[in-house]
Amino acid sequence: MDLQRRAPRPAAACHGGGAPGATLSVRWVPYDRGYGTTFGRPEVEAFRLRLADEPLAEDDPLPAIARGIEALDTAAARRVDLQLTREEGPGDLVMGINGVPSWEAEPLVAAVGETAVWIIENTMEFDHPFHLHGFFFQVLGADGQPVRPLAWKDTVNVPVDGAARFAVRYDNRPGMWMFHCHILDHADAGMMGMLQVVR
């Protein structure tokens, strides 16, 4: 991609302001994944973008919205309760779901066409972005109602001492699907599971 010819509008720019001829710094910013992962780690400049010294490009108009999103019917939905956990003690860090690391967990089983409401609880001192493979879902509020505006997601943040809720319909994609914390060292430490969708 020719980065010089795709100069962003000033409102969308980062630290450099986005004016023609400006240089933007793209930086790696430490994110606290727990267990000292950001201790003593400063921001790092990854690279710089130099914007062309020419008029800003005009954006093409956005396409018309061709479809609406309807809220999933959860009246008969099956409830799936998950708690993000870790094992205390010396040695290697072991995380899990419902107290079980991924290498010891049995898969959840669901049926094609079924709708479920997942409730994921987090009692740790840092957030976990929870990711489901294979299916898009609708995030629900604490009252069980869809969060507006309606949107299809595959990842939702589970806050400290809080919970995330979503509704998912298992459409016609049978098979074994993964779910996990999207901080991949947490998934590797055991915060991962499998969903088996059967006909």
Q: Mean pLDDT, 10 residues at a time, over the chain (199 residues)? A: 35 53 90 72 92 83 86 97 88 90 97 98 91 98 95 96 97 97 92 97
Predicted local confidence at residue 66, as pLDDT:
78
DSSP letter for 27, please.
E
Do 68 and 46 meet the contact criterion of CB atoms below 8 Å apart?
no
Predicted local confidence at residue 15, as pLDDT:
41
Q: What residue segments make up the domains of the chain, in order of their start?
A: 3-50, 78-198
- Omega before residue 107 within 30° of 0, cis: no
* Residue where the block lists tokens 């010819």: 5
Predicted local confidence at residue 197, as pLDDT:
98
Superfamily of 78-198 according to CATH: Cupredoxins -  blue copper proteins (2.60.40.420)
* Residue where the block lists tokens 């396409």: 63
Predicted local confidence at residue 11, as pLDDT:
35
Predicted local confidence at residue 18, as pLDDT:
75
Question: What's the CA gap between 101 and 95, in Å, rounded?
Answer: 6
Predicted local confidence at residue 155, as pLDDT:
98
Q: How buried is residue 195: exposed, middle or buried, by Cβ count under 10 Å (0-12/13-18/19+)?
A: buried
